Structure 1
């Protein structure tokens, strides 16, 4: 299928979301990012219900904070999104939500976030606040700077992990933080590669600093670092038995499959959708999670 046929079909159909436009603006499809990352702080812990509850509160805080950030970004990018073949269907760019409604949503989210943070431990509050500050700087200018843009986005996931550790009252596992950072770089660079192939550098100014070949090199480097970091986490910080290294093939298969999707199939524009809808990814992730849970209970 040609590039033209891939892009003109969505344009004829228009938006396909069945969600109310204001709710769609909050990007509920991206909430699994928080559900997947924050609870990683429980790996290897002697978990009790109090710890689980505190981590759940922090997860809710990041859901609210990330939705607030999405609304702010959409307001900042409204004109640029209108020139994009897919993003022009977003609620603000398509005119299905007005600016005043978007600002009201920001105030509502901030009002909901405040009491959630008051219920959280201070060690879990500062990552959320820093996340908001970093993303404000990202929306203002940093997203236009090549390389820095991908590191800023990846930092948001590291802060989620720090929030989980703070909520659980546990020391941070440095190798897990490193693994999350490099894995997120893989996902974000894969997304940038897809954007570069679909719309060139016109929509996102930072893309002028990239080429497909350069991004492929970065993908390979970050993938290798992710595997090394994950193995070191299992061996030195996880508290699992040596048998947990049996999950290494799952990690490798997940990375290989994602690289196949990005490089061979020229997809990967929405990493969350890729991770949650691809059959190979889902099967592998289920096995991976089952093995980790088994070692957690041993």
Structure 2
């Protein structure tokens, strides 16, 4: 139970978000270069430890609020599986490991890790209570991941990719806020300071707007195709079918179920997993075939 509690505290399942570090290398056409893959894997591990430190700090700060949340109360700290003292010890060990590791990593990658930590500390202590800014800070964290992955292999992500990732992160963030607004309307509980400034109608309008912009940007990105490698790149626009269907499926789940967390849905929803898999297979073939 203690080991499972520690893994839950570190949010190991959330490390899937850090796979974004591989995106610049993947779209560069050099994904099967063993040395470059090793470099990104190192970056992935370090960034995952960095994000775990953020999760621990956030759980320590919000322990009392989490005790009132129907789902978060099952986390290791509010449920009592792990003590606050244990959480601080784990945080200290991970932080010490990061400080030592930074001496062996590219300086700009270290800068982005520190920037990510700073961004999330500001979010945890203050900015999470300001509507719209709260979701924007989360989205910026995804963009930092993207640039961090590029720095590990000296590949700059395209402008298109940066914008798409930022907007997708906004979409996922607002979908999670929708769940908090529903909890407030159904039970009266305000779980975040920013929730009072959100409404279901506003969030639904934002989700519709972002879905359209993301779809348009991705279609233009794949039609332009000059930033891609591969002899079949002129057919990359066909992968837009999977992106649009994936967005629609995600929105369907957000609007019709009680779950809006993208990581949870990706693990649980078979249809969403199939769509993402087909997108990955198709775009891999078109770039590397």
**Does the TM-score normalized on the shorter chain lie above 0.5?**
yes
Aligned partner of 1:186 in structure 2 is 171
Q: 1:259 aligns to what?
A: 251
Inter-partner Cα distance in structure 1 for 2:202 and 2:115: 30
Give the direction of change, closer, same or farther, for the CA distance of 1:276–1:74 in structure 2 (3 Å limit).
same
Structure 2 match to 1:73 = 58
Q: Which stretches of structure 1, 4 residues or more, deviate above 6 A after TM superposition?
A: none
* Deviation of 1:231 (Å): 2.4
| Structure 1: gaps (5+ residues) | 1-16
Q: After superposition, what is the alpha-carbon deviation per residue over 1:268-290, rounded to whole angstroms, capped at 9, x for unaligned?
A: 1x210102221111111111111
- TM-score, normalising length: structure 2: 0.92
Report matched runs for 1:219-298 at 5 Å: 219-234=207-222, 235=224, 236-240=226-230, 241-268=233-260, 270-298=261-289
Please list every run of 5 or more consecutive structure 2 residues that lacks an aligned counterpart in the other structure: none
CA contact (8 A) 2:112 2:148 kept: yes
Separation in 2, partners of 1:289, 1:254: 12
Query: Quick check: 24-33 or 194-203, which moved more?
Result: 194-203
Match of 1:122 in 2: 107
Q: Distance in 1 between matches of 2:256 and 2:79?
A: 32
| Cα RMSD (Å) | 1.7
Q: Could you tell me how far 1:267 is from its partner in structure 2?
A: 2.7
Q: Partners in 2 of 1:98 and 1:90 — Cα distance?
A: 11
Q: How far apart are residue 18 of structure 1 and its match?
A: 8.9
User: Any idea what SS the aligned residue of 2:57 has?
Assistant: helix
Who is 1:139 aligned against? 124
Deviation at 1:266, TM superposition (A): 4.1
TM-score between the two structures when normalised by the length of structure 1: 0.89
CA displacement 1:199-258 (0-9 Å, x = unmatched): 445111111111011000100111112112222332242335110111000000110001
Aligned 8 A contact 1:54 1:120 in 2: no
Output aligned runs, 1:81-230, within 5 Å: 81-200=66-185, 202-230=190-218
